[in-house]
Amino acid sequence: MTPDPLSISRTAIVAGDGTFTYDDLDEASRRSANALLDGSDDLNQARVAFLVPRSFAYAAVQRGIWRAGGVAVPLATSHPPAELDYVIRDSGAAVVVGQEASRSVLAPLAAGAGARFVPVHVLMAAAPASKLPHLGAPRRAMIVYTSGTTGKPKGVVTTHANIGAQISSLVEAWGWTPADRLLLVLPLHHVHGIINGLGCALAVTAVCEMPAQFDADAVWDRLASGEITVFTAVPTIYHLLVAAWEASPAQQRARSEGARRLRLMMSGSAALPVQLLERWRAITGHTLLERYGMTEIGMALSNPLHGERRPGSVGTPLPDVQVRLVDENGAAVAAGTPGELEVRGPNVFLEYWQRPEETKAAFRDGWFRTGDVAVLEQGAHRLLGRTSVDIIKTGGYKVSALEIEEVLRQHPAIAECAVVGIPDAEWGERVSAAAELRPGCSLSIDDLQAWAKALLAPYKLPRALCSVDALPRNAMGKVVKPEVAALFK
């Protein structure tokens, strides 16, 4: 979305590479577009992979790709060369953009894939483009690769219309205005950071602060400043912020009082433990707004901006988004009955890149099949888990791993945990728990079962326990369940 001409002098981005206005962003994106076009009139949806950390340069390159008519393919700064190579090749990138410091890694990968490598500083030094192609709404705009927890990652293709719908829905639901100032500490290869954060802030000409590195104390300084109005993060980040608050008793009061002045704090990308929600509320006064989304759909459900936010709930459909819960045959289920969540609307992605069969299989009668199981309770949706990962079939029962995890987190020795189903000849799947224990604590499976039997049905009790220093997580802090399951093999 293009900022109002009267707003171009407003501050757009505050980052490690400086403070920049919307006018600066407009010019830098024109420069980037001109360099990418390299004499042509239109990139015609050529893919441009770019590896740029949180910065003004990221926003300028992303916008420059779009203005040149290209498809933006954000690369993860945390990924090793082999994973970068996979995305570059799978997307068929014609151009790879990166900082000069990453040339030694990216240039050979680009050459091997038949693409040209262009350093960021070359894009920024080009003359601003005077003529840019017309971008029709149905044109492809971005390919974001899924986390790949099962098999190779898939490229999720969204159009300019999809992105516009996703952002406008969130702007309306979450009350974004030009007066907002977002503190963005999320990675920018995922819709949480790209759409919910940067996209929404720029769409309304708000200010987006993007520190180059995450530092819990630095984040607290900004939250306590009274200048930040919106903050969104994943549960892992809130865990780190709680730990930093607890480790600094002399600053607790100032930090808590400052944080209370924000208008909105959100959590997503992974299930938010109820204990963490309650702890954060005790520290800051904020009940974190939980929402539900996926790479393929942006956001679909959200707790209300104003009104009751229920722990464990992800709320109701966002504007212009339709959802339904169905059984295994695609028939609608009654309220209170678990069913697979399906989504329809202008926010839903176009296709999996070069995977027509998988794209076809992802839809049923025009509805996108999320693979997530939810239940509608008192008008709001509560997630029970993935059909393939978090729903465990044991002893003839379907059990929610997330439900068991919430109970186990109440154990005094458990700091964090993940529950998976392990194939078992007798039970079908055996409920198994991996746990991060609190310092100085130990725990046996017998002790855990004895404690949990008062809180869980017998068929929900863990039958195996593995203590770990840290649960395996992906770049967004989400626990990688297949890797957890591998601990029990």
Measured in whole angstroms, how far is the alpha carbon of residue 17 from the centre of its chain?
24
CB-based contacts of 273, cutoff 8 Å, min separation 6: 235, 405, 406, 409, 416
Question: DSSP assignment of 407-473, as one string?
Answer: HHTTSTTEEEEEEEEEEETTTEEEEEEEEEEPTT----HHHHHHHHTTTS-GGGS-SEEEEESS--B
Superfamily of domain 391-486 in CATH is ANL, C-terminal domain (3.30.300.30)
- Which pLDDT does position 7 carry in this prediction? 59
The position carrying tokens 């969130």 is: 170
- Other C-beta atoms lying within 10 Å of the C-beta of residue 55: 21
Work out the end-to-end distance of the chain between its first and last CA atoms, rounded to an integer number of angstroms: 49
Q: Which of 269, 244, 201 is nearest to 54 (CA)?
A: 201
Q: How far apart, in whole angstroms, are the C-alpha atoms of residue 306 and residue 286?
A: 12
Q: pLDDT tens digit string along 246-296? A: 999 999 999 999 999 999 999 998 788 888 999 999 999 999 999 999 999
Q: Would you tell me the crossing angle of helices 235-246 and 252-259 to the nearest 10 degrees?
A: 140
Which architecture, in CATH terms, is 5-135?
3-Layer(aba) Sandwich (3.40)
Q: Where are the domains of the chain?
A: 5-135, 391-486
| pLDDT value of position 147 | 57
Cα–Cα distance for residue pair 364/110, rounded to 1 Å: 38
Listed residue (372, 359, 202) closest to 293, CA to CA: 372
Burial zone of 306 (CB within 10 Å; 0-12 exposed, 13-18 middle, 19+ buried): exposed
- Cα distances (Å, whole numbers) of residue 130 to 123, 124, 419: 15, 15, 56
Per-residue pLDDT, 149: 40
Q: Give me the residues of the chain with pLDDT under 70, please.
A: 1-8, 147-151
pLDDT at position 359:
95
Q: Which one, of 377, 339, 346, 485, lies nearest residue 421 by Cα?
A: 485
User: Strand 71-74 relative to strand 47-51: parallel, antiparallel, unpaired?
Assistant: parallel
